[in-house]
Amino acid sequence: MVPRAATIAVALLLARVVLDRSSPVRLPKGSAVLLLAIGFGAFQALPLGARVAAVFSPASARLRHDLATLQPAPEAALAQRFPADNRGARATLSLYPASTRRDLTLVVLGAGLFLLGGVFFRSPLARIQLC
């Protein structure tokens, strides 16, 4: 579960940025790297076509195929009798998308807290007050 206080703090920062146009908010230099990491995680969780996913991650496609062939005997017999139509199949690059989404949520929360620290503790006085 994502900590509620941190989520509220990030939401308040976003509200401040959107509503208060008088003082520009300068973000830390490291925020670009964090945004790239978030984009990479989101790309892993996107449902892509099976062929596109195989191009970007052949190992993941091979493991997904190996996992799909390890079926119990009754399910294997049904799969042979009624083959599935895989033309419209979609797959993610991640083998466990739920875990990827959870980890991505934690990265987004951590990046938001980093941005909060960069905005609110920019001045020496604010850092002294923090201590």
Residue type, 27: L
Residue type, 34: L
The band of 48, judged by pLDDT with boundaries at 50, 70 and 90, is confident
CB 61 within 8 A of CB 50: yes
pLDDT digits (tens, 9 = 90+) for 25-46: 677 788 888 889 899 999 988 8
Q: Would the pTM of this model clear 0.75, i.e. be above it?
A: no
In this predicted structure, what is the pLDDT of residue 2? 59
On the question of pLDDT at 63 being above 80, the answer is yes
In this predicted structure, what is the pLDDT of residue 103? 92
Task: Please spell the DSSP secondary structure of 3-14, one letter per residue.
Answer: -HHHHHHHHHHH
